[in-house]
Structure 1
Amino acid sequence: MSKDNQHKKVRSTTKIMRALHRDIGFLMIGLTIIYCISGIVLVYRDTDTFTIDEQYIENIKPNMAAHELGSALKLRRLRVLEETADTIYFNYGNYCKSSGEAVYTINTYPDVVWLINGFHKTKSRFGAHWLAVIYGVLLFFLAISSLWMYKPKSKKFIRGLVLTAIGLIIAVIALYI
């Protein structure tokens, strides 16, 4: 292969990679915005940030024992605080034994936040997991294709490699913090 043909091939590969990087990058903007919002919300999942209080009134079987309430109301972390002749008080609310009425308040995310967080919490058994896999593959492509933005021996390319190394080091350090 002549030097001129080799130069055209390199130039052609660079041109293709730049075009793909640009087009895929624009495609990924919308997905990235949703993933960013979801990620920020999940960082604060151990706080009450982004949550609302929702009150529920449910009629369940009357005269239930205190230890049955958690499963009847589908509340995993229910703790009984006090029990009187007709009322059981628990950490979310209360239950009237005679009527079977349970009134409780749960601190939860608004529906739109649950929906957005589904992107980060997708499991392989759900069809939407392919979106997460494709998103990851496309992000990986964007990271690698950015190496074709500058000539390999240019200062900007070398600076890009240094910043890439710093990013990898920060990620590794963050794993141990």
Structure 2
Amino acid sequence: MASPKFHMAFRKYHRWLGFFLAGIMGVYAVSGILLIFRPTDILKYEQTQTRQYEANLSGVELLPLLKMRGSKVTSENADKVVLNYGEYDKDTGLAVITKKDYPIVLSKMVKLHKATNNSPLFWLNISFGLGLLFFVISAFLMFIPKLPMYKNGLKIAGIGAVVTVLTVIFGS
């Protein structure tokens, strides 16, 4: 059995890492809540861009140039191409694109949350995940295993794991 000094050391590391990760957890919490509402327009505002392309492009030729996920041609005639995000004038080659997006700070937070291995932000995500894993392990090393608080903590952690597994299985 480990000494009380060992458990106190883990309490200290848990506490200091907890203070450090509190800021990161706050950012992840806000961005995670925003991601839940991404199909809606909550906190989004309209942004209009004008882009210059070649003249006389068809809708099929224009879509790959826009590089916008979900863009579609809704109608096309001799003068213009109407898109779900704006319109393109065939005579001038000018496209006016209007879409809704988060303000820059919230947009950056959402990108942080959705970072993949192609993004330089993924190192922060990996570090954060490892920090949370340390919390999981150190939470059980903070107390002496013979104490009732330790045994109750194991029961509560087990209940939390079961609820999470059931939610994942039946909730999606």
Which bin holds the TM-score, normalised by the shorter protein? 0.7 to 0.9
Post-superposition Cα deviations, 1:12-55, rounded to whole Å, max 9, x if no partner, equal: 11111111111111111111111111111112222222322111
Kindly indicate whether residue 60 of structure 2 is the aligned counterpart of residue 67 of structure 1.
yes
TM-score (norm 1): 0.86
Residue identity matched to 1:135: F
Unpaired stretches in structure 1, ≥5 consecutive residues: 1-5
Match of 1:58, SS?
A: strand
- Match of 1:55? 48
TM-score (norm 2): 0.88
Match of 1:169, SS?
A: helix
Which of residues 24, 40, 48 in structure 2 aligns to 1:31?
Answer: 24
Which of residues 148, 160, 171 in structure 1 aligns to 2:164?
Answer: 171
Unpaired stretches in structure 2, ≥5 consecutive residues: none
Post-superposition Cα deviations, 1:97-137, rounded to whole Å, max 9, x if no partner, equal: 11112112112222212211232222224443222212111
- Match of 1:97? 90
Runs of 4+ in 1 over 6 A off after TM superposition: none
Distance 1:49 1:154, change over 3 A: same
Cα RMSD between the aligned structures?
Answer: 1.9
The 1-side partners of 2:37 and 2:30 are apart by 11
Distance 1:106 1:135, change over 3 A: same
Which of residues 113, 123, 126 in structure 2 aligns to 1:130?
Answer: 123
Q: Is the 8 A contact 1:70 1:77 kept in 2?
A: no
The structure with more radius of gyration? 1
